[in-house]
Structure 1
Amino acid sequence: MYDYVIVGGGSAGCVLAARLSEDPDIRVCLVEAGPMDSAEQIHIPAAFAKLFRTRLDWDYDSHDEPYMNRRRVYLPRGKVVGGTSSINTQIYIRGNQADYDAWQQPGWSFDELLPYFKRSEGNERGPSRFHGADGPMAVSEGRAGNPMSTAFLEAATAAGYPANDDFNGSEQDGFGAFQLTQQNGMRVSTATAFLHPALSRPNLTVETNVQVHRVLFEGSRAVGITGHRLDEEVTFRAEREVVLSAGTYNSPQLLMLSGIGPAGMLRALGLPVVLDQPQVGQNLQDHVLIPLIYPHEHPISMLAAGQPEHIEQFQTEGRGPLTSNGPEVGGFVRSDPGLPAPDLEYLAAPVMFVDNGLGVPDRHALTFGPSLLTPRSRGSVSLASEDPTAKPRIVHNYFAENDDLRTAVTSLRIGLDIANQVALKPYTSDPFRPPASTSDADLRAYTLRYAHSIFHPTSTCAMGSVVDEQLRVTGVDGLRVVDASVMPTVVRGNTNAPVIAIAEKGADLIRGLQQPAETTDDA
């Protein structure tokens, strides 16, 4: 018996386990489907793509996407302690103030969330109005120093876009280098930052390699979870609450397997109905990237990272190509100057990132392109089977809304303009599978053929529909969801930092604590 059982040891779950177990009188059990994060490739930043489709990846695909020529889209998710923070590109972006204010959820405005961002953050630049310096999550400057990244920023400036040295400061617009969740050139995940320092606490138990099958109910109250470790059935009881932190795909799947979801679908699969909640798994949102790939003959891409001199530099200095997170630099742009905030994020990586990241880079290359930050299209997560080991049925419905496709065409034109600037000419003279032309029709066709997820799914257990502003599942007792699925809409940027802040606030909500005091440190 525990006080709290947390399902999912990922970006949110590790934070929750560490924060809740700060009280020695609270017994916490963290249950993770994957193993501990001991694999060497997790901690070497440049090796993230080598983790795709391995045992450390849930290895999901969308079902046939009806508006993308019925393609299936690869959707990696970390199946390891640290979750997707153990396999992501380590970019530290919070999104835009307008995102949180638009949620219109009590306690979740940007000003109310900022103290939680700052509490988790250990920024090497020091404390300021927008940043914390003493938190467990190290945030640092990139150490790869690739000349293609420098050239990309010069080209963006030449194309007329402003420079921005802090996307998490007062303004998001402009181009610059991303700050990263790294320390001394090594990946920092929520496992290394939050969970590992707490593992010695006697009131914290971490159970790995356990796939949870369902939440257990007594009446309408959640009292524990059951699942399997290999062929052994295991059950963990929660005296106070069960907390789902299984992510945007797996949290709604678990709710539905547990009898919370659309009653008609549950009955059709022979599952008991605890609560008819048709919004579970709906409202799925994500960012798509439209890649522009430019092979060249300069031997400076991440393809050279394994050379002996770069290995030595990584081991002795914590610098060089092996510290590359992939998209080292980028920027935020408004596709229409009348928009209240950026709706495009450009990501530039010194590598041939082809076929959703699953292709083998065989040439030195630069890959960059726009990510659509404010998609209007909505998808869903549902059950493909009553068998809890079956993968969920995920349909993103990318480009279901024509406005998204119009924005994609505009975003590609901006990207192609940056590629034509003088600073990038040494690297962009030989495009790989380029659009047939710059006509609207050809740019639309290119988008639908090559766009892919940039791995930021959210909103399938959204506040205001599935959970309340306390993150409690509405209609039952003793059950919360704390992860990216509770966002009413996806934020304008990478989602790891927002999920950490959600978990920081979620821990306080569970403990009944007040909001942390805001500081006014100057830069």
Structure 2
Amino acid sequence: MDWFLAQFIWVILAGSLLFNALSYSYKAPMYTFIKEATFAPPILTYDYIVIGGGTCGCPLAATLSQGGKVLVLERGGSPYTNPEQINIHNFVNALFNISPSSFSQVFISTDGVYNTRARVLGGGSVVGAGFYSRASYKYIREFGWNETLARSSYEWVEKKVVFEPSMLQWQSAVRDGLLEAGILPYNGFTFDHVYGTKVGGTIFDKEGHKHTAADLLEYADPKRISVYLHATVQKILFKWNAEKGRPQAYGVIFKDTLGIIHRAYIISKVDNEIIVSAGAIGSPQLLMLSGIGPANHLKALGIQVVMDQPFVGQGMADSPKNVLVVPSPLPVELSVIETVGITKFGSFIQALSGLSFGYSFSDKLRGIFELLSNQSGISSKFRPETMESFADIIRSLTNPIFKFKGGMIVEKVMGPRSTGHLELLTTNPNDNPSVTFNYFKDPEDLRMCVEGMKTIINVINSKAFSRFRYKNMPIQALIDLMLLLPVNLRPKHPNAAFSLEQYCIDTVSTIWHYHGGCQSGKVVDHNYKVIGVEALRVIDGSTFYRTPGTNPQATIMMIGRYMGQQIINKRLSQ
């Protein structure tokens, strides 16, 4: 399969939306403490070493710097190098650029689904769609978090990076269509996770600039924090703690872009520690590379076993996503996710509109729909009016800027219940591990998808949404189109056009809400300390059992602030 063809469809299904080039003045934060790893000394010592300056690592490190000396090691670069790259009109380039220096690292799960993992300061908040919504109060209570501290931690994040979106025609039509479809009540603009239809927050400001987790480093004490970019941690170092009778983390080895090895150690004090915040893919991968994981698997790769921990890499999950793309007879605004339907049957409904592609994508995308249209049997599969509407897309691809006249409505399964696992393929930390998510292995996930797709169909058929769809284009035509597109590497079945169950299975794609691999109660305790190891924690989405709310980034940023306060308050009290 042509990789760029797959990339295009991936973009379509992700809802990667771009505004037209905007003229505005943006001043990137002038962090004096951020440097390339090539400038790092051979040996460093700190109170805390945070591995991963991502969505959780940035707020965590900023908070820790208020009470200790903090080192952050980020394997990617800075989102501030070129501010235009984190403007919404360059969203696709940032998310799907496959060059070695890009913000994303592409991988394909064993399920045959295209995926990507962040590789940049600020993590997934730099490359995601920007939707901001808190976890439910039930979720917070189930995880044992202090509700008052969680609320103040959310607010700490929101003061710096979150905004109320502009609700224009497409988003308003989807909102009203959700209400017509019975996703009630209407809760207006709110960060809270509540049943019904609501408008959530966004980390894109009014000028289209994205305010990422990296912006939260503005809270840091610049005299007590150091951030090194392109610093790839090779492994965590351990020694034996005879008093506790268990291994103890005391340092890390990392490489810069020249391949030069550096070592960083934590100062030998009781509360000093190493904190892994490398994300749901990176954190279990690094524990295994460091010798903490299933012993037989590590031995097979020649890794010295520090501790046999069979749960590392287990419980991997990604909420499945399915969509319908809807061409519009009317122009639509460019919008990322702004409104969401939170259903009681366990599915979240979101929408995007006005897809656009920059110059760097035009050559790669040109001809895709021509290819589909010329394939044997495809032209006869659609009614003439259906092919005519998609001809607009074909013509637009001949221009340097591609803008899709229409949008999509997205269904995400809550949870999910289906889980998989992660395994190492090599001992090179730059390589992707093997990841299996087992989409729809649990029949309850499939049930939620089917109900979600029924809701999407009801929204498209609603009176509120009627002006944004061709009257002579039936829902079946939209379903047929999606089944023709190579949205993943999974086989397509003949009955998928008439069975929503099979449609969900055949057209599943990622929503990038990975979690698991270092789950709380199995790999870490309720304080996120690695069970059976001294001076080592994992704090990020890899500890979650299910994704929080409609989008996890709000809660991942919150937990960085939350745990940073917990750690520092204990340190200061002593």
Identity of aligned residues (%): 26
Deviates more, 1:406-415 or 1:247-256: 406-415
- Quick one: structure 1 residues 120 and 297, their matched pair in 2 at CA, closer, same or farther if it must change by over 3 Å? same
Aligned to 1:469: 526
**What is the distance in 2 between the residues matched to 1:438 and 1:414?**
20
8 A contact 2:356–2:403 mirrored in 1:
no
Aligned to 1:235: 263
**What is the distance in 2 between the residues matched to 1:166 and 1:177?**
4
8 A contact 1:244–1:481 mirrored in 2:
yes
The runs of 5 or more residues in structure 2 that have no matched partner are: 1-44, 241-246, 366-401, 484-493
**What is the distance in 2 between the residues matched to 1:112 and 1:201?**
25
**Offset at 1:223?**
1.1
**What is the distance in 1 between the residues matched to 2:248 and 2:424?**
23
Aligned to 1:369: 410
8 A contact 1:62–1:396 mirrored in 2:
no
Aligned to 2:479: 434
**What is the distance in 1 between the residues matched to 2:155 and 2:191?**
11
SS in 1 for 2:93: helix
Structure 1 segment 375-386 matched on structure 2, within 5 A = 375-386=416-427
SS in 2 for 1:285: strand
**Offset at 1:36?**
1.4
Aligned to 1:340: none
- Quick one: structure 1 residues 391 and 438, their matched pair in 2 at CA, closer, same or farther if it must change by over 3 Å? closer
**What is the distance in 2 between the residues matched to 1:75 and 1:110?**
33
- Quick one: structure 1 residues 392 and 31, their matched pair in 2 at CA, closer, same or farther if it must change by over 3 Å? same
| Partner deviation per Cα, 1:393-448 (whole Å, 9 max, x = no partner) | 11111111122112211111111011101221222334664158999962122212
**2:181 matched to 1:159?**
yes
Structure 1 segment 12-27 matched on structure 2, within 5 A = 12-23=56-67, 26-27=68-69
- Quick one: structure 1 residues 91 and 397, their matched pair in 2 at CA, closer, same or farther if it must change by over 3 Å? same
Aligned to 2:53: 9
TM-score by length of 1: 0.81
Structure 1 segment 389-400 matched on structure 2, within 5 A = 389-400=430-441
Aligned to 2:113: 73
SS in 2 for 1:508: helix
**Offset at 1:347?**
0.9
| Partner deviation per Cα, 1:227-286 (whole Å, 9 max, x = no partner) | 211221222112221111100000000000000000010011110000100101111122
**2:168 matched to 1:141?**
no
**2:71 matched to 1:29?**
yes
Query: What value does the CA root-mean-square deviation take over the aligned residues?
Result: 2.6
8 A contact 2:177–2:460 mirrored in 1:
yes
The counterpart of 2:514, out of the listed 457, 462, 471, is: 457
Aligned to 1:286: 318
SS in 1 for 2:47: strand
| Partner deviation per Cα, 1:328-351 (whole Å, 9 max, x = no partner) | 22221122xxxxxxx211110013
8 A contact 2:347–2:411 mirrored in 1:
yes
**Offset at 1:51?**
1.0
The counterpart of 1:328, out of the listed 338, 342, 345, is: 338
**Offset at 1:112?**
5.5
Give the number of the structure whose residues are more often helix, by fraction.
Answer: 2
SS in 2 for 1:278: coil
SS in 1 for 2:163: strand
| Counterpart residue type for residue 45 of structure 1 | I
**What is the distance in 2 between the residues matched to 1:346 and 1:90?**
16
SS in 1 for 2:316: coil
**Offset at 1:14?**
0.8
Aligned to 2:217: 195
**What is the distance in 1 between the residues matched to 2:156 and 2:326?**
40
**Offset at 1:96?**
1.6
Aligned to 2:137: 97
8 A contact 1:419–1:428 mirrored in 2:
yes
| Partner deviation per Cα, 1:197-222 (whole Å, 9 max, x = no partner) | 53x71221110011111111122111
- Quick one: structure 1 residues 109 and 373, their matched pair in 2 at CA, closer, same or farther if it must change by over 3 Å? farther
TM-score by length of 2: 0.74
**What is the distance in 1 between the residues matched to 2:229 and 2:537?**
21
Aligned to 1:307: none
- Quick one: structure 1 residues 172 and 216, their matched pair in 2 at CA, closer, same or farther if it must change by over 3 Å? same
The counterpart of 2:249, out of the listed 206, 212, 222, is: 222
Aligned residues: 455
| Partner deviation per Cα, 1:68-117 (whole Å, 9 max, x = no partner) | xxxx22222221111111111221111222223333x4xx2656633322
**What is the distance in 2 between the residues matched to 1:241 and 1:514?**
12
